[in-house]
Amino acid sequence: MENPKLYHPLILKHNKHPFHFFKDEHAQFVIQASNPICGDRFTLFLSLQDQVISQASFHGYGCAVSKAATSMLVERMYQKSIPKILQMTQEYLKMFESGNQIHDRELEIFKVAREFPGRTQCARLSWQKLSEEFQAWTQD
Amino acid sequence: MPDLPLTGEFNALAFRRHFPLLHGNDLIYLDSAATKQKPAEVIEAVEKFYSTYNANVHRGIYKLADEATDAYENSRDTVRAFINARSSREIIFTRGSTESINLVAQSYVAARLQNGTNIVISEMEHHSNLIPWQQLAKKSGAELRVIPINDNGDLILEEGLGLIDKRTTIIALVHTSNSLGTINPINVFIEKARKSKSTILIDAAQAMAHQSIDVQALDCDFLVFSAHKMFGPTGVGVLYGKQELLEEMPPYQYGGEMIESVSLESSTFRLPPHRFEAGTPNIAGVIGLASSIHFLDTWKPDKLGSHSKILAEIAVELLQSIGVRLIGTPVRRAGIVSFLLDDIHPHDVATLLDQEGIAVRAGHHCTEPVMRYYEIPGTLRLSFSAYNTREEVEQVAKALPRIRKILG
């Protein structure tokens, strides 16, 4: 218990004090990410201005890992274009399959979830959903 | 340490020695409501079948096939005796409780439903005893009536009994709740079923390894259970049904083993139970189930259940002293305790407990309506069997404050 491997201090920090954790009624886009198996459910609130994310927040319920992963996603979206975010999410999601290093080294704290039964999905939840949504948008 | 009840004279360590997975292993396995670990006796019975008398049943004109058929049919009688059914024709082997319920739903209830009839279940049913009825009701226009629960996780009896009337085609009720630990007063509902001339099915999946069940004394119409929750193999279960009801029922699936004669135009079907066992059955599973029943007969389900119940009581007391939120404080509790540690997600607690070698369940336990009632996404669940010890419960109680410190 002294070394709670899955729970990097940064994950615990984001779990306790998530970034922009509120409902934004004025958001242009609302995206739901939920996992029916464990009941985790997050809503992302996003707004675009001049082709980049100008406002992002989230709200909902989930475990420490899914909450921290969502918090760190929201934190990273600011001033980024949709293709740029898509690139980031795809690289992050691939990390769980390949185990490879990624550009944003801080996000590698989630890689360890691979070693825990049933927990990879927690780290992927919001990233996966956002990635799917943005991919659909860019294809439209 | 509070003054706790003793675990009586039951020797959990002697019992535990029968389980190869647990013996000499520090694993604290507290997920027995999901599935029980298997004693060497059951593992050996399955192995012996495959290594010494494996053959298909009911069709071979040779000794080996005879031996396999005898073992298979003797197992049916073992089950009959275990639940005190009148005849072994009343014992149907299925893949498990879920299939047993679906069989009754499709083969007995579906044809009897119409507008104006109703099905009665409870709010604490496992999805397996909810969805088959919900879907049937939708298709037929029958009404699905739900016996509500109260904050303790007990059925609200008066309200529940009031739902049953002459138009109730079936009452499908869980004996012991897998998520709340509630042992329901099923007798009261069976009595009511008799008065209203309704049919009643009891889901006894969580009960069989924890108390003796006598279907004649109960006078239920159908009773379902799964082998793997009573120390037997997975993938095999039982439907008990009163003979006169089974005889009225058309086959549930069609194929080999269940026919009398077949032409290209038409077929006639065997009597129950074989009418309901199409295809090659899970022979090894059935033999393993019989072995698990011999095992239970030796140790006595009531004794095993009372040990699990005492462990649950110890757990409740220790958890309360830590200040957790118990989900379900029923009048009669089985060896199952659900709770939440502050507002920490159950999965996080379960992962950290796993790191300490403690296996518990986290989630909705296939009882989403119960979670909805308490307005929670899931719980942590400790479920005990007779191989668990008081020390194991204490280990959980010691770990929780440490987890609270990390995640709180």
pLDDT in tens, A53-111: 999 999 999 999 999 999 999 999 999 999 999 999 999 999 999 888 899 999 999 99
Do the chains contact at A7 and B354, CB–CB below 8 Å?
A: no
**Interface contact A12, partner B, CB < 8 A:** yes
Q: Which DSSP string do the residues of A45-68 spell out, in sequence order? A: EEEEETTEEEEEEEEEE--HHHHH
Closest Cα in chain A, distance from residue B29 (Å) = 16
Q: Stretch B293-317: mean pLDDT, rounded?
A: 97
Euclidean distance between CA atoms B296 and B390, whole angstroms: 21
pLDDT of residue A3: 58
**Interface contact A122, partner B, CB < 8 A:** yes
Euclidean distance between CA atoms B111 and B193, whole angstroms: 19
Contact call for residues B185 and B157 (beta carbons, < 8 A) = yes
Contact call for residues B334 and B184 (beta carbons, < 8 A) = no
pLDDT of residue B8: 53
Kindly report the number of other CB atoms within 10 A of residue B104's CB atom: 27
Q: Is the dihedral of CA B283, B366, A113, B319 positive or negative?
A: negative
pLDDT, tens digit, for every residue of B325-376? 999 999 999 999 999 999 999 999 999 999 999 999 999 999 999 999 999 9
| Interface size between A and B, measured as CB pairs under 8 A | 51
Contact call for residues B83 and B94 (beta carbons, < 8 A) = no
pLDDT of residue A1: 55
Chain A residues with beta carbon closer than 8 angstroms to that of B378: 38-39
Is B5 a residue whose pLDDT tops 50?
no
Chain A residues with beta carbon closer than 8 angstroms to that of B351: 6, 116, 119
Euclidean distance between CA atoms B138 and A79, whole angstroms: 50
For B66, half-sphere exposure in the C-beta direction (CA atoms, 13 angstrom radius) is 3
Kindly list the domain boundaries of chain A, sorted by start residue: 9-139
Comparing B1 with B56, the larger pLDDT belongs to: B56
pLDDT, tens digit, for every residue of A33-65? 999 888 899 999 999 999 999 999 999 999 999
Three-class DSSP category at B265 = coil
Do the chains contact at B399 and A62, CB–CB below 8 Å?
A: no
Q: Residue B36 is encoded by which pair of tokens?
A: 């029980």
**Interface contact A5, partner B, CB < 8 A:** yes
pLDDT of residue B3: 40
Q: Is the dihedral of CA B92, B98, B99, B105 positive or negative?
A: positive
Question: How far, CA to CA in Å, does B293 sit from each of A123, B32, B298, B299, B392?
Answer: 43, 17, 9, 10, 26
Do the chains contact at A6 and B351, CB–CB below 8 Å?
A: yes
The CATH class, in words, for A9-139 is: alpha beta
pLDDT, tens digit, for every residue of B238-253? 999 999 999 999 999 9
- What residues 339-358 of chain B have any CB closer than 8 A to a CB of chain A? 344-345, 347-348, 351-352, 354-356
Do the chains contact at B355 and A15, CB–CB below 8 Å?
A: no
Question: Comparing C-alpha atoms, which of B167, B150, B151, B168 is closest to residue B159?
Answer: B150
Distance, CA of B38 to chain centre: 16
Do the chains contact at B351 and A15, CB–CB below 8 Å?
A: no
B366 catalytically annotated: yes
The domains located in chain B, with CATH, are 12-39+300-407 (3.90.1150.10), 42-298 (3.40.640.10)
DSSP-derived pairing of the beta strands B267-269 and B259-262? antiparallel
Q: Is B366 exposed, middle or buried (0-12, 13-18, 19+ CB in 10 A)?
A: middle
pLDDT of residue A2: 52
Comparing B157 with B6, the larger pLDDT belongs to: B157
Find the catalytic residue in B366, B376, B397, B407: B366
Q: Is the dihedral of CA B10, B13, B17, B18 positive or negative?
A: positive
pLDDT of residue B149: 98
Element (H, E) at B200: strand B199-203
As a dihedral over the C-alpha atoms of residue B134, residue B135, residue B138, residue B139, rounded to 10 degrees, the angle is: -150
Do the chains contact at B351 and A61, CB–CB below 8 Å?
A: no
CA angle centred on A127, ends A126 and A133, rounded to 5°: 90
Question: How far, CA to CA in Å, does B357 sit from each of A95, B34, B86, B315, B341?
Answer: 28, 17, 45, 17, 18
Euclidean distance between CA atoms A54 and A79, whole angstroms: 6
Do the chains contact at A4 and B406, CB–CB below 8 Å?
A: yes
Q: Is B15 exposed, middle or buried (0-12, 13-18, 19+ CB in 10 A)?
A: buried
Chain A residues with beta carbon closer than 8 angstroms to that of B362: 38
Closest Cα in chain A, distance from residue B85 (Å) = 38
Question: How far, CA to CA in Å, does B318 sit from each of A95, B391, B392, B399?
Answer: 42, 12, 12, 12
DSSP-derived pairing of the beta strands B336-340 and B325-326? antiparallel
Is B1 a residue whose pLDDT tops 50?
no
Kindly report the number of other CB atoms within 10 A of residue A13's CB atom: 12
Is B4 a residue whose pLDDT tops 50?
no
Comparing B7 with A18, the larger pLDDT belongs to: A18
**Interface contact A11, partner B, CB < 8 A:** no
Closest Cα in chain A, distance from residue B177 (Å) = 20
Euclidean distance between CA atoms A41 and A35, whole angstroms: 6
Find out whether the peptide bond into B273 is cis, omega within 30 degrees of 0: yes
Kindly report the number of other CB atoms within 10 A of residue B31's CB atom: 19
**Interface contact A36, partner B, CB < 8 A:** no
Euclidean distance between CA atoms B117 and B140, whole angstroms: 9
pLDDT of residue B2: 40
Euclidean distance between CA atoms B111 and B102, whole angstroms: 13
Option in B364, B402, B403 nearest A39 (CB):
B364
As a dihedral over the C-alpha atoms of residue B307, residue B313, residue B319, residue B325, rounded to 10 degrees, the angle is: 120
**Interface contact A56, partner B, CB < 8 A:** no
Contacts (Cβ under 8 Å, ≥6 apart) of B305:
B209, B210, B211, B334, B335
**Interface contact A93, partner B, CB < 8 A:** no
pLDDT of residue A4: 72
User: What is the residue type of B183?
Assistant: I
Closest Cα in chain B, distance from residue A14 (Å) = 11
Is B133 a residue whose pLDDT tops 90?
yes
DSSP-derived pairing of the beta strands B336-340 and B267-269? unpaired
- Tell me what ipTM this predicted complex has: 0.88
CA angle centred on B10, ends B7 and B11, rounded to 5°: 105
Option in A38, A64, A116 nearest B407 (CB):
A64
Do the chains contact at B354 and A117, CB–CB below 8 Å?
A: yes
Question: Comparing C-alpha atoms, which of A104, A21, A112 is closest to residue A62?
Answer: A21
**Interface contact A6, partner B, CB < 8 A:** yes
DSSP 8-state symbol, B2: -
